[in-house]
Chain A
Amino acid sequence: MPIPLGVLAQAGAGGGGGGGVATNAYVWLASTILSSNQTNIDFSNLSSSYSGTYQHLQIRAVCRSARSAAEDDLRIRIDGDTSGLYASHFLKNAESSFGGANATQMVYNGMMIANSQTANSFSAFVIDILDPFEATKNTTIKILGGYTANLASTVMLGSGLYRSTSAMSSFRLYNGFGDFAAGSRFSLYGLKGS
């Protein structure tokens, strides 16, 4: 059954402006698309800009490490905090791995494709940051990510914990070994609670 998309796509595009469509609960907030290699990806002013409107945040990323290697890490640090308040676990392929407890960042080993692998191949991640602005909860995250290429391939479910009840003001994505490659894309979305 072929389903051409023209009519429904036009109907959806007007969704935010009325026409009987429900209020948007999932909203694009910001994006970074790299035109050249870059070490860190920072999203800042989160609490001041978004805490009154959004309950959760989501990162959707398509990225690649510029380092000549098969794969690198994906790391996340919140509010510039380098004390040992982080923990992370992940299920990578069929193996359960431990990113670390009392660590200085959340770390997901070998999750990002690097520059010795197939050209034009990128890793993809969907990262949910739950209740980042709640003052009574530590911040938790969950990740689905992976890539396939010539030297290695991986698929991963991950969890992360930041043991702080402070409202999140910023977070940084980095790989710990080198730059993100040009063409990498990072988008931030907000999910409303009500």
Chain B
Amino acid sequence: MTATYIALANTTVPAGGLATVTFSNIPSTFRDLVYVISGQLENATSTDTILRVNGDSGGNYSRVYSYGSGASVSTASETALNQFLPWYTRNNGSNAIGYVMDYSATDKHKVILARSNNASNEGTSMQTQRWANTAAITSLAFSSSTNEFAQGTTFALYGIVS
């Protein structure tokens, strides 16, 4: 029986932290991708993690999100962004997961269904994100320009067959 949900890569941030984690050379042999992040940032400043596809820093990203803090709930749509913003967190435990749908199709813009959770501070969120490009995704680069990923934070990427 062919494996369906396959671990492609994972890494754990070493001592000293990391500013960027990049999954590169992603093969086009799967239908969907799933990324899973668990950990925290280096300091107490809440920061949006940046996700760029194929190195694209143009204004080709959009999103709609809903967010609940326990005290309030809000929603917003943003367009012409220079990156996805999949994970808003700080120096305490949190996690994020994203479903990158039809990532290798060349007739579709790419959609990511994303969830993130930070129970201590920022709350919980859900997002739909779109990269306005029909190119197959070959790399996903996560970075945090003002607040590095802390030691022990894990990044994992999975491929789903169909």
User: Chain A residues in contact with chain B, CB under 8 A?
Assistant: 1-6, 8-9, 12-16, 21, 24, 26-28, 31, 60, 62, 91, 93-95, 118, 120-126, 144-149, 153-157, 183, 185, 187, 189
Q: Do A60 and B26 form a contact, CB below 8 Å, given A8-B8, A94-B66, A124-B113?
A: no
Q: Which of B102-150 contact A (CB under 8 A)?
A: 102, 105, 107-109, 111-113, 115, 126-130, 132, 134
| CA gap between A76 and B140 in the complex, in Å | 33
| B92 interface hit (Cβ, 8 Å) | no
B32 nearest in chain A by CB position: A60
- Give the residues in chain B near A147, CB-CB below 8 Å: 111, 128, 130
Q: In angstroms, how far is the closest chain A Cβ from the Cβ of B17? A: 11
A-B contact pairs, 17 of them (CB 8 A): A3-B23, A5-B23, A5-B24, A9-B9, A15-B3, A16-B1, A16-B2, A31-B162, A60-B160, A62-B105, A120-B132, A122-B102, A124-B101, A146-B64, A147-B128, A148-B130, A153-B77
Q: CB < 8 Å: which of A4, A62, A123, A146 contacts B24?
A: A4
Closest 5 CB pairs of A and B: A146-B128, A12-B6, A15-B3, A94-B75, A153-B64
- Give the residues in chain B near A8, CB-CB below 8 Å: 7-10
Q: In angstroms, how far is the closest chain A Cβ from the Cβ of B34? A: 10
- Give the residues in chain B near A156, CB-CB below 8 Å: 126
Q: CB < 8 Å: which of A1, A26, A95, A148 contacts B20?
A: A1
Q: Are A5 and B109 in contact (CB under 8 A)?
A: no
User: Chain B residues in contact with chain A, CB under 8 A?
Assistant: 1-11, 13, 18, 20-27, 29, 31-32, 62-66, 73-75, 77, 79, 99, 101-102, 105, 107-109, 111-113, 115, 126-130, 132, 134, 155, 157, 159-162
Total CB contacts across the A-B interface at under 8 A = 167
Q: In angstroms, how far is the closest chain A Cβ from the Cβ of B53? A: 14
| CA gap between A65 and B155 in the complex, in Å | 35
Q: CB < 8 Å: which of A4, A21, A62, A153 contacts B3?
A: A21
Q: Are A148 and B4 in contact (CB under 8 A)?
A: no
Q: In angstroms, how far is the closest chain A Cβ from the Cβ of B31? A: 6
Q: Are A146 and B6 in contact (CB under 8 A)?
A: no
Q: Are B162 and A187 in contact (CB under 8 A)?
A: yes
Q: In angstroms, how far is the closest chain B Cβ from the Cβ of A189? A: 7
Q: Are B11 and A148 in contact (CB under 8 A)?
A: no
Q: Are B128 and A153 in contact (CB under 8 A)?
A: yes
| CA gap between A102 and B32 in the complex, in Å | 35
Query: Chain B CB within 10 Å — which of A4, A31, A146 has the most?
Result: A146
Q: Are B66 and A155 in contact (CB under 8 A)?
A: yes
| CA gap between A15 and B111 in the complex, in Å | 28
Q: Are B129 and A148 in contact (CB under 8 A)?
A: yes
- Give the residues in chain A near B162, CB-CB below 8 Å: 28, 31, 60, 187, 189
